[in-house]
Each structure stands twice: as C-alpha cells, then as structure tokens.
Chain A
C-alpha cells in the first residue's frame, strides 16, 4: 500500500460521505457546502490520475461557478432553516434497491472489461499533457467537431440569456 493508495482511500471516503450528507442534511446551505466538499474530492481524484487540467477545471467550474450560484440562489430564498418532516418518503426502499442493482450491474460490466485489472501505465514525464489536449481539441482527426458544437451551444445559451434579460423599451 503506497502513499497514493492512502490518499485515494481517504479522498474516496470523504467524497462519498459528503455526497451522503448532501442528501441528508436538513439545512440547504449545509447541503450546498457538503456538495462542494464532494466535488472537491472528485477534483482530488482527477489529480491522483495525473489529470491536473481536469482537477483544476473541476474546481473552477463546479465549485467556482455552479456551487456558488447554488449558494447564491439558496441565500435569496427565505425560511431556509425551517424545513421539518421526514427526509425519506414511502418509496425509499425501492429507490435504494434500484440504486444497488444498478451499482452491481455497473461493477459487473466493468469487471468484464479488459482494462479493469491492468495497473495504471506510467505517463511519460517529458510530454506536456496540456499541449497534447489542446492540439487534440482542435485537430480534425480528433475532437474538433464536438468542441465546436459545444462552443456554438454555449454561445447560443449566452445570446438566449441576453434576449431573456433584455429590457424592451416601449
């Protein structure tokens, strides 16, 4: 068991624990903060996989943008603390069973895949992964089409937001 294993186990436990807390916490703000911890754990796992770019992007987008937007929206709503009553409804066991079956099925599916048991290959240290990723994103033989489609979609969303918020002068 190396240091990396220990870090991975700790991170995994924290991430999953925080994820459970997101759905069980009574206070909405607490839920949002647990969600941030959970997302941060995912970023750490990206870091452990030597995917530094994804780790940082995870923090920028999920914590810096989405989670803060959520907290902002929650803070604008009143009576955050007065939520009482049971947090589970009658069908909770069905949902739990479904989740368990799905999880087992996924694990079984992955275990049949040949890459499941092969250890992580060592990455070459002299290759700048960012440069490789950047080149792959705009090269026609790789991901230029999804990349451009995504950017057009985002631009459309941006323009749509402006149109929705536009104050018509009449």
Chain B
C-alpha cells in the first residue's frame, strides 16, 4: 500500500497479460498510460499554479488577490479557463496557419517532456536514462523553437522582435546552465537523475551552493521571467511573441510558462535539494512525491519573490551579465570542483563536503570582492562630471576663435 503507483501498474500488467496480449504491446500500453497520467497530473496542477501565482503576487503587492469565486478564490482559475475557452479564436492576416497553430502546443509539450526524467520517488520515475542531465539541456533547446515559431508565424513585428530576443537570451544563458549542471554530475559521478538524488548526502546545496546559485539565476533567464523577461517586455514590444494569440492558444503559452517555472524549480530541487529525499521515504516511497513538490514549491516561491521584487533589466545588461559574469564564474567553479574532487578522492564524505563548501565560499568571497571593486570604479565613472558641450578638437577651437 506504500507504493500505489507501481501497485496499480503491476496489476494492470498482469491483467493485460491474462487476456493474452504479447509482452511488447503490454509495455507500450503501460508506458502510454503512464505518460497520460503524468501529463494530466501536471496540467491539473498547472490550474492550481495559476491560483498560487496570483495569490502570491497579490501578497507581494499588498493586495488580496482573487477571493470572490469559491473559498479563498480557489475556483477562480476554473472561471479563467472557461473564459479562455469561449473567447473568439483570431487568426492574424498573413499568418502562417499551421506553424501558428502548433507553436503553443510545442511550447507546452516541451515543458511536459522535461518531467520524464525527474524522479518523483525512489520507485516512481518516468525514465531513468543515464543522460538525463543532457536530456534536460536538449529539451530546453527544443522549447525555444516553440517561441521562435510563434514569433515568426504571427506576421507581427513585435512578435518577431520577441522571438529574436528569446534566441539571444537562450544562446547566452544556455552556457552557464550547462556548466552549472555539470558540477553536480561531477560530484555524483553520473548523469542520471536518480543516481544524483541518491548521491546527495548532505544535499548538494550545502556542498556546492555556488552552482545552485548560477543554475537558479540562469534558469530564471531561461524561462524568461522578470528581471529577464525582455522577450515579452510590455513597455517595449507590447507582449512579445504571443501578442497575436487569443483564447486557449494564449492559455497554452500561459500554462506552459507557469509550468516551466515549476519544472525548473523541480530540476533544481532534484539536483541540489535532494529531490525526494526526506524522513520515512525508505518505508513509504509515495512520501517522496510530497517532499519533491514541497521543495519545488519552495524554489518556485523564491522565483516569484525575485520576479516581483526586481525591475526588468536592459538587453545589453542581460547578455553582459551572462557572458561576462555567470559564464566565467561557472567555468572557474567547474575547474575548481573537478580538480578538488580528484584530489580529495578517497577521503571521508563529511571532510569532502566541508572542503567543497570551503572552496565554494572562497570563490564567492573573491567574486564579491571583485564585484565591489568593479562597482566602485563604475560608480566613479558614472559620477564624473560630464560637461554638456565641449569642443573636442583643439584645431576646431582655433577655428571657432577665428570666427
């Protein structure tokens, strides 16, 4: 009874084997059922996320949020969905119909695909492939395609600009993400998510906090949330890539965006907060699902906290932040961790963890010092008096005097 998911799966398998289906077909059917159940679970939770997000942003902005429909406004998202479903579906003139229609499906489906490798509990897991970390990177790259398709097919300049910005953003932030993902892989000696979770004692956030920080910041950029949401900056390009979308097509983008934030939180929770690890998980595996989502929502909350606290940054600042700060920092961290983990091979785990933590803290300290010096120089440069009108050339000055 402690593991209902696998119990039901085994029961269905024996049921189908009894009516005489070949093993290969049974496996395919069970896998399909698993995919449908997982996708449905996530999409239903997505409805809850809408409520959670709106309620939280209201609190950050000193409002009450939805509180009219149902207790605490819990039925509000259902009302929103009904509204989205009955809205008129508008196809812009000159749009590329087919691409325009599949783009929102693409945007949501790629987010759902990421959940295939996230372990929910010791026994509940979509697929324990040995390249799970790389798979996350790959699906992230494909996800951008949906946004590009939407931006291009809309036949709208704002949408196209939003798509361009997305590509620049994705190319820039993919690099620190990949490097930061490599750090837990080095420590766990595996790219499988389940192996990384099992290797985490203590949790990796206490061993390599800097990698967690880099992944967190770069992930916020990857999902395009404030302060990195220049691809849908309202004040500049109206709504970005989904400007022409109405009704449920827009709803799919919206759902995909919210779910992407939770997915990224789940990935960070799995890689750095121990995933499903928690008390009594060994006896009752289903508890792992609860722990995973508890940790994911904690990170989701922090993402929202960042989102509603910081203003949007400019595109040059954003790209500069990735290439000039996050990427070099991640590279330094990767080299230090790789060397340390080879040098310290064989020492007892607590000493290993402490040494790693110390190395991380030293890198953080040096980085903060460098940043402080840089900020001082920059402040001086910005603070310098700049006269409004100067004649640049001495020759020109003479000319003016002659006049």
Residue numbers of A with Cβ under 8 A of B are: 2-4, 27, 29-30, 33, 36, 52-53, 56-57, 59-60, 63-65, 67-68, 71-72, 75, 128-130
Please name all residues of chain B whose beta carbon is closer than 8 Å to the beta carbon of A36 when the two chains form the complex. 145
Residue contacts A-B, CB under 8 angstroms, 7 given = A3-B28, A52-B131, A53-B130, A56-B134, A64-B144, A71-B145, A75-B148
Known: A29-B99, A29-B152. A60 touches B137 (CB 8 A): yes
Of residues 1 through 53 on chain B, the ones whose CB sits less than 8 Å from some CB of chain A are 24-25, 27-28
B131 touches A130 (CB 8 A): yes
B130 touches A56 (CB 8 A): no
For the complex with contacts A56-B138, A72-B167, A128-B130, 8 further pairs of A-B residues with Cβ separation under 8 Å are: A3-B24, A53-B131, A59-B139, A63-B145, A64-B137, A68-B141, A68-B145, A75-B148
Nearest A residue to B141 by beta-carbon distance?
Answer: A64
B145 touches A56 (CB 8 A): no
Nearest A residue to B144 by beta-carbon distance?
Answer: A68
* Size category of the binding interface on chain B: 20 to 34
Most buried by A among B129, B170, B190: B129
Of residues 142 through 166 on chain B, the ones whose CB sits less than 8 Å from some CB of chain A are 142, 144-145, 148-149, 152, 160, 163-164
A139 → chain B, closest Cβ, in Å? 16
Contact of B134 among A29, A57, A72, A128 (CB under 8 A): A57
Known: A3-B24, A29-B96. A68 touches B130 (CB 8 A): no
CA distance in complex: A56, B96 (Å): 30
CA distance in complex: A27, B96 (Å): 10
A23 → chain B, closest Cβ, in Å? 19
B138 touches A129 (CB 8 A): no
Please name all residues of chain B whose beta carbon is closer than 8 Å to the beta carbon of A59 when the two chains form the complex. 138-139, 141-142
CA distance in complex: A27, B129 (Å): 37
Residue numbers of B with Cβ under 8 A of A are: 24-25, 27-28, 96, 99, 129-131, 134-135, 137-142, 144-145, 148-149, 152, 160, 163-164, 167, 170, 174, 190-191
Nearest A residue to B190 by beta-carbon distance?
Answer: A128
- Interface pairs A-B: 6 shortest CB-CB: A64-B141, A59-B138, A3-B24, A56-B134, A60-B138, A56-B131
CA distance in complex: A60, B140 (Å): 9
Nearest B residue to A64 by beta-carbon distance?
Answer: B141
Please name all residues of chain B whose beta carbon is closer than 8 Å to the beta carbon of A72 when the two chains form the complex. 148, 164, 167
Please name all residues of chain A whose beta carbon is closer than 8 Å to the beta carbon of B144 when the two chains form the complex. 64, 68
CA distance in complex: A134, B140 (Å): 24
Please name all residues of chain A whose beta carbon is closer than 8 Å to the beta carbon of B134 when the two chains form the complex. 53, 56-57, 60
Please name all residues of chain A whose beta carbon is closer than 8 Å to the beta carbon of B28 when the two chains form the complex. 3
Nearest B residue to A74 by beta-carbon distance?
Answer: B152
Known: A2-B24, A130-B191. A63 touches B142 (CB 8 A): yes
B103 → chain A, closest Cβ, in Å? 11
A123 → chain B, closest Cβ, in Å? 12
CA distance in complex: A57, B133 (Å): 11
Most buried by B among A63, A64, A65, A75: A64
Please name all residues of chain B whose beta carbon is closer than 8 Å to the beta carbon of A2 when the two chains form the complex. 24
Nearest B residue to A53 by beta-carbon distance?
Answer: B131
Please name all residues of chain A whose beta carbon is closer than 8 Å to the beta carbon of B164 when the two chains form the complex. 72, 75
Known: A52-B129, A68-B167. A33 touches B141 (CB 8 A): no
B319 → chain A, closest Cβ, in Å? 14
Contact of A33 among B131, B142, B149, B170 (CB under 8 A): B149
Most buried by A among B25, B131, B160, B170: B131
B159 → chain A, closest Cβ, in Å? 11
